[in-house]
Amino acid sequence: MNILFLVLNEIEYLDDILDAFIDVGIKGATILDSQGMGSALANGERDIPFFGALRTLLDNARPYNKTIFTVVEDEEVLKDAIEAVQDILGDMGKPGVGLMFTVPVGSIHGMTRRD
């Protein structure tokens, strides 16, 4: 069992990703509004030259993103979900696309199966 995390900077793809999750068998996920540290520092009230330069670089960047996470019990479903996200977003190695990772889960409490 794993948790799949996706920090999605290109939030216009959110609905496509959620549809793909349903298609591969994921029935639920949590979506949080989030902001990266660089964006928070650049948009803050700091009077430090580095942050002014960073603010200039990030002026056209998206200041907010969505963090999606879901518990996935089946390894095949997890693999399919990862592939679906990569198909939708393309090269996630490019700056500003997003970040995806998994974390193993030892146990879980409060989640019921919805078969």
Question: What values do phi and psi take at 84, rounded to 5?
Answer: -65, -45
What are the pLDDT digits (tens) for 13-22?
999 999 999 9
Radius of gyration in angstroms for the set of CA atoms belonging to the chain, rounded to a whole number? 17
Whether the per-residue pLDDT at 58 is higher than 50: the answer is no
pTM here?
0.79
Whether the per-residue pLDDT at 57 is higher than 60: the answer is no
Domains and CATH numbers, the chain: 2-34+64-104 (3.30.70.120)
H/E segment holding residue 76: helix 75-89
